[in-house]
Amino acid sequence: MKLRTFDEEDQAAELARRTNAAAKAERRLAALLDASISGDKHAYHRFLDELARHLRARLRKQLRQQDADVEDLVQEVLIAVHKGLDTFRPDVPLTAWISAIVRYKLADHFRANLRRGEMFEPLDDDVAVEGISPLDSLEARRDLTRLLDTLPERQRHPIEHTKLLGLSIAETAATTGLTESAVKIGIFAASAFSPR
């Protein structure tokens, strides 16, 4: 029997804390949205306020050097959520639905910044280009989205949450409502489905 180290215990405690926080946020936001759909206008304002707070924290992590853009993206996501409420399906976790909107808005943001940067590119022929261009990255993301859309939901959600969002099996299970075994099976099945 292997004894757990303090680092493993700290990691396990942090994972449990994050999982509990994600599940609590999901329940809170879903309850506020349900109340607002039932006609409670104050609940809708609280829903938007809490969602904006979560979005700011998430986007600050992803746009470290672009704080000025965070608030613009928060507003764009909130507008998209508001306009797209009729497309929300209650069988899909609310935070997963919102995460998809965030991904699309981030892609739009990076695409716009790429175009803006191209307007100020020097005309020197000897400028070295290294690595993958942001456009290649956006095209790869588009292709990945198309591929994921071909998967059944029970396979797509585990792949999106673990491989794209970086969540653990336990966090994915808590977010999607699947068991940890179902998440593992979904990942395996999706991996077996993908072309090699």
- Kindly report, residue by residue over 99-141, the tens digit of the pLDDT: 888 888 888 888 877 765 544 555 444 444 454 455 556 666 7
Same domain, 36 and 117: yes
Task: Please report whether residue 7 resides in a domain.
Answer: no
The pLDDT of residue 12 is 73
The pLDDT of residue 181 is 86
Q: Domain residues for 97?
A: 22-122
Average pLDDT, the chain: 77
pLDDT above 90 covers a percentage of the chain that reads 9
- Distance in angstroms (rounded) separating the CA atoms of residues 146 and 57: 28
Task: Please report whether residue 9 resides in a domain.
Answer: no
DSSP class of residue 133 equals -
Same domain, 27 and 93: yes
Same domain, 106 and 172: no
Which residue is it, tokens 């998967």?
151
Same domain, 50 and 107: yes
- Rounded to 5°, angle at Cα 99 from 97 and 104: 100
- Kindly report, residue by residue over 35-71, the tens digit of the pLDDT: 988 888 899 999 999 999 988 888 888 777 667 788 8
Q: How many domains does the chain have?
A: 2
Which residue is it, tokens 């808590």?
174
Domain of residue 181, CATH code? 1.10.10.10
Domain finish residue from 122, 146, 176: 122
Which residue is it, tokens 């994050």?
18
Same domain, 147 and 84: no
DSSP class of residue 5 equals P
The pLDDT of residue 58 is 84
Task: Please report whether residue 6 resides in a domain.
Answer: no
Same domain, 26 and 118: yes
